[in-house]
Amino acid sequence: MKKKNGIGLLGTIFFSVLAALYMYPIVMVVLNSLKVETAISTSGAFELPTGETFAGLTNFVSAISSQGFLKSLFYSVFITVTSVGLILLCCSMCAWYINRVHNLISKLMYLLCAFSMVVPFQMVMFTLSNTADKLDIFGLRFNNPYTICFIYLGFGAGLAVFMFSGFMKSIPLEIEEAAMIDGCSPLQIYFKIVLPILKPTMISVGVLEAMWVWNDYLLPTLVLDIKKYRTIPMLIQYFRGSYGKVEMGPMMACIVMTVLPIVIIYIAGQKHIIKGVLDGSVKG
């Protein structure tokens, strides 16, 4: 018994140290966002703010008022909300079809969605960016923030369909049959019966996909016209002054403001993430 307690104590110490190492860069970014520029660019970057180096909210004000921060914030919020909404709606419907219609097409759709999780983005990124730049459907181009959500739908469908399908197997078919006897159409069954039952998985998938879309840098950089549209992750690299000098204070402040919203969302929905992942992977 003492041996097991000793192993548990060592494990606790090890993972506590590991967690501290992971948290150290985040703490440094927060501390440096509150310092004056000279303190960050010298050896004082690793020190706590003092009376002389403390800048207050000056860096945050500078970050918001320069480089088009508010416009980039709008693009990031719009892309994230629209993309996650499309993923939740379309992928939950797709998973419902896959689990209720047992034929070759539904099996093939599920296999393709599962396979898409294995294919790395780097394999298709050049072809994708070239296609998005040239494709024109009914006058719509895919190199702007208002249509990139359809590209995110394609890349986010694999994980979402996989999780929704796993949870969908636990929904009794008799409930839907009873609603059909009462005269409900397929859409009414989905929105009035299936969708409310899917709430835990909806929240978990939504948080995971929102973290991915909000923090994504590579796909918007490849697809969007960077001269016109910049998301928050893209904006961070443009905090440069004359002669290529990096404005470290505003950049650190921008990073803090970028990370904070998604951290709050994750903390608020973490219990649903764990529950949704478990329900979507082991049920059925």
Contact 158, 116 (CB under 8 A): yes
Domain count for the chain? 1
* 133-171: pLDDT as tens digits: 777 766 667 778 888 998 899 888 888 998 898 888 888
Mean pLDDT for the stretch of residues 256-282: 72
pLDDT confidence tier of residue 200, bands split at 50, 70 and 90: confident
* 64-81: pLDDT as tens digits: 887 788 899 999 999 999
The secondary structure element, H or E, covering residue 140 is: strand 140-141
| DSSP per residue, 9-44 | HHHHHHHHHHHHHHHHHHHHHHHHTTB-HHHHHSGG
Residue 61 lies in a domain: no
pLDDT confidence tier of residue 177, bands split at 50, 70 and 90: confident
The CA-CA-CA angle for residues 143, 145, 151, to 5°, reads: 65
Residue 246 lies in a domain: yes
Residue 140 lies in a domain: yes
- The interaxial angle of helices 148-168 and 125-134, nearest 10 deg, is 120
Residue 209 lies in a domain: yes
Residue 245 sits in which domain range? 66-282
Q: List the CATH number of the domain containing 124.
A: 1.10.3720.10
Average pLDDT over all residues of the chain: 82
- Measured in whole angstroms, how far is the alpha carbon of residue 170 from the centre of its chain? 27
| DSSP per residue, 197-223 | HTHHHHHHHHHHHHHHHHH--HHHHHH
Residue 226 lies in a domain: yes
Mean pLDDT for the stretch of residues 184-197: 88
pLDDT confidence tier of residue 91, bands split at 50, 70 and 90: very high
Mean pLDDT for the stretch of residues 223-230: 85
Residue 206 lies in a domain: yes
What is the DSSP-derived secondary structure letter of residue 154? Answer: H
pLDDT at res. 88: 94
